[in-house]
Amino acid sequence: MKLILVLLAWLPLVAMARPDVDQKLGSTLADTGSVYYQFEHFELDSADGQRHYRVRLAVPTRAAPDEGYPVIYLLDGNAVLAALQEEWLAELDQRGPPLLVLIGPASDLRLDVDARVYDYTPSPHPGQPLLEDNERRRPAGGALAFLELIETRIKPQVEARRPVDRQRQTLWGHSYGGAFVLNTLFTRPQAFQRYVAASPSLWWKFGLLMQIEQTMPADVSARLLIMRGRDEARARTATTPPTEASRAMAATPDDAAQQMAVRLAQRPGLTVDYRELTGLGHGPMLAASILPALLMAAEPDP
């Protein structure tokens, strides 16, 4: 009986740790309005027509500076919009607010799991078919194509709508999105000047990102912020039988993100910051990492 009571007590926590793939977006600041930002959007499809995106622009009510707004591109745009708070926007308004570009699914879902698995994950052989793992078998490895979508179709539309400072562009992502951020830094570092990787999935394909890291050009000049929840360490649970993902997680050191930050900080052109947030696990890090990313995007160049 005691064991049953303990298990029942843990059920809500387990439920909170797992993303609700059917969770709807609900009412957001885009609906209720903001004193400091106005919202607009456009939609587009992936090159193969399989994924559909709604790109929301949160535009400061303050006039753009002469060089244009600093801009931050945020993945999982619907989830970001759901977490966005008016107090955050008020703080940005006092600092020289950036333009926010939220890239999410063209639906009322908070997350489109299938699309983000494909779009955010790198592949050891870009362009070749890849599966997330042997159990879920979702198509994966489309990070290169998604970056092309951002660079050649999303950025031009954003810049046609609002003046943007191309020397102050930030990219943020969480989990698989954090892996996308790092893969972009390693493979096309000139795409952005500031990168924020929250709880990046460094275990993906048994440490593929660590291999890609070694190919990064030597002359990269950028700022990088890596964040992780302190409760993510050893929060992984074994599965029976073990899955490909659980084996990859078990093979990745708990401090892999911190180790990566230390390595990257040794590169002359990179400014690297690593932060652990106390009391937070993997899921809550999505919302918790947004404000630090927004503040970083608003910072003037040194």
Instruction: Sketch the domain layout of the chain as residue ranges.
Output: 25-298
Per-residue pLDDT band for 10 (boundaries 50, 70, 90) equals very low
Per-residue pLDDT band for 233 (boundaries 50, 70, 90) equals confident
Give percent of the chain above pLDDT 90.
83
Q: Out of 175, 199, 201, 246, which one is annotated catalytic?
A: 175
Is the model more confident about 123 or about 134? 123
Digit-coded pLDDT (tens) for 76-120: 999 999 999 999 999 999 999 999 999 999 999 999 999 999 999
Is the model more confident about 127 or about 230? 230
Is the model more confident about 234 or about 169? 169
Mean pLDDT of the chain, nearest integer: 91
Q: Would you state the pLDDT for residue 134?
A: 85
Q: Is the pLDDT of residue 181 over 70?
A: yes
41 is catalytic: no
Average pLDDT estimate for 38-47: 97
Q: Out of 34, 123, 132, 232, which one is annotated catalytic?
A: 232
Q: Which of 130-139, 184-193, 204-213, 271-280 has the lowest mean pLDDT?
A: 130-139
Q: Is the pLDDT of residue 238 over 70?
A: no
User: 236 is written with which tokens?
Assistant: 């992984």
Length of the chain: 302
Q: Would you state the pLDDT for residue 131?
A: 93
Distance CA 24, CA 169 (A): 30
282 is catalytic: yes
Would you say 177 and 75 are in contact if contact means Cβ atoms under 8 Å apart? yes
Q: Would you state the pLDDT for residue 234?
A: 55
Q: Would you state the pLDDT for residue 273?
A: 98
| Torsion angles phi and psi, residue 105, rounded to 5 | -75, 150
Omega cis (within 30) before 12: no
User: Domain 25-298 adopts which CATH fold?
Assistant: Rossmann fold (3.40.50)
Q: Is the pLDDT of residue 17 over 60?
A: no
Q: Is the pLDDT of residue 239 over 90?
A: no
| Torsion angles phi and psi, residue 58, rounded to 5 | -100, 110
Q: Out of 132, 199, 282, 289, which one is annotated catalytic?
A: 282
Average pLDDT estimate for 2-15: 34
Q: How far is CA 94 from the centre of its chain?
A: 25
Report pTM. Answer: 0.92
